[in-house]
Amino acid sequence: MGMTMTQKILAAHAGLDSVTAGQLIEAKLDIVMANDITGPMALPIFREMAEKVYDKDKVVLVPDHFTPNKDIKSAQNSKSIREFAKEQGLKWYFEQGKSGVEHAILPEAGVVAAGECIIGADSHTCTYGALGAFSTGVGTTDIATGMATGELWFKVPGALKFILTGKPGEYVSGKDIIIHIIGRIGVDGALYKSMEFTGSGIRELSMDDRFTMANMAIEAGAKNGIFPVDEQAETYIKEHSVKKYKIYEADEDAVYDDVIEVDLSKVRPTVAFPHLPGNAKTIDEIEAMEPIWIDQVVIGSCTNGRMEDLRKAAAILKGQQVHPNVRVMVIPATQKIYKECITEGLLGIFVDAGCAVNTPSCGPCMGGHMGVMAAGEKCVSTTNRNFVGRMGHVDSLIYLASPEVAAASAIAGYIANPEKAGEK
């Protein structure tokens, strides 16, 4: 019986010739990552298990959620992982002002590569599947175990195969595609399964598109999302990393729980309405409704704070003004991206349009820091979750969208079609 990409990676890391869905295995880990919220919780558990991490080059700590620190508690949390990183001599500790959001900085800095087995104490760790790695989010006890032993048990996931064909339209990005897919299969449609993307349409997707899609696999309940390693992915890895990597390909007779075809040419700009990422509506459906007036726009996060995202938003905002009733926050995902925005003149475009530009951080995404919303307020956000109370008051509303929809909406004052951006 053949294996999927994910199953091949897990088999190799478990030292087995083959594995099957549902099998319990113990796999060796290539990277163990935590942030300023999850890391401090894992440290006391780690101390009960070991004095030293299993490999100082493979344990990664990134303060990004509440940095710059928003209060005394967040400052204490950041201090705890900062001191731990120094004590342990960790190679990869990413301090504020020198890094950015964890799921953007790890690929950018070359920490992760194809064929690896990666865990992170953050649900969107599945981002690195864009590079052909098995990466998944786990809890703090599992992170502590991984830090101490370099191994962790897994239940081998089954898989869904997504065959992508066609070419996306001009204003359709990875964000639209993954919201479209989650809308089709539901927020539990891939529960504890691997979402494996294949097909000729993949060559039409940028790496930023793929990072976004892999990132949001968890929003369909998936254990991980993963893309094949094509020439574009290899080029990215070689440009960012000196690590050796291994390419795994699914067997032709791999077993999938379902096969779903997606014609990218038919996907429209798509928005996830409150309060689930699967509550998908196309821009055409939205235009047929009464205008949904908004109070806030967020452009950034581990989903859509990369350079390509910001270029797309800037192209729409250039020469325009943010609606007087809307406040906009733009958050580059890393310091490198921030600097590129300066070099390319994007920050000037954002500021001239009336946006606030913030330092690389998770920022408003989880409602604890910057951009917290009041009761009744509505936000169009390029982040990845729109649960009740996610960005502030339980009576606030979050609409997930691409950077282009977000930028067009910022100008219009309501959820708007990027194809018509700037029209009066």
pLDDT number for residue 423: 60
Mapping DSSP to helix (H, G, I), strand (E, B) and coil, where does residue 60 land?
strand
> Domains plus CATH for the chain?
5-264 (3.30.499.10), 272-417 (3.30.499.10)
What burial letters (b/e) apply to 324-352, b meaning 16+ CB within 10 Å?
eebbbbbbbbbbbbbebbeeeebbebbee
pLDDT number for residue 272: 96
Output the CA torsion sign for 16, 22, 24, 26. positive
Q: Is 126 annotated as a binding residue?
A: no
Task: Transcribe 25-57 into DSSP letters.
Answer: EEEE-SEEEEETTHHHHHHHHHHHH-SS-S-TT
Q: What is the pTM of this model?
A: 0.93
**Pick from 336, 321, 325, 341: nearest CA to 407:** 321
pLDDT number for residue 389: 82
Identify the helix (H) or strand (E) that includes residue 137. Answer: strand 134-137
Q: Is 362 annotated as a binding residue?
A: yes
Q: Is 355 annotated as a binding residue?
A: no
pLDDT number for residue 363: 84
The sheet that has 158-165: what strands, in order across it?
Answer: 224-226, 193-198, 158-165, 258-263
pLDDT number for residue 391: 83
pLDDT number for residue 387: 83
Rounded CA-CA distance 411/353 in Å is: 9
Identify the helix (H) or strand (E) that includes residue 152. Answer: strand 151-155
Q: Which amino acid is at 65?
A: H
Running along the chain, 424 residues long, what does each successive block of 10 average in pLDDT? 94 96 97 94 95 96 90 92 96 91 94 97 94 96 97 96 96 96 94 96 96 96 97 95 94 95 97 93 95 96 94 96 96 95 96 95 82 93 88 92 97 93 61
Q: Any idea how long the chain is?
A: 424
pLDDT number for residue 140: 93
Determine how β-strand 117-120 pairs with β-strand 134-137: parallel
Q: Which amino acid is at 151?
A: E
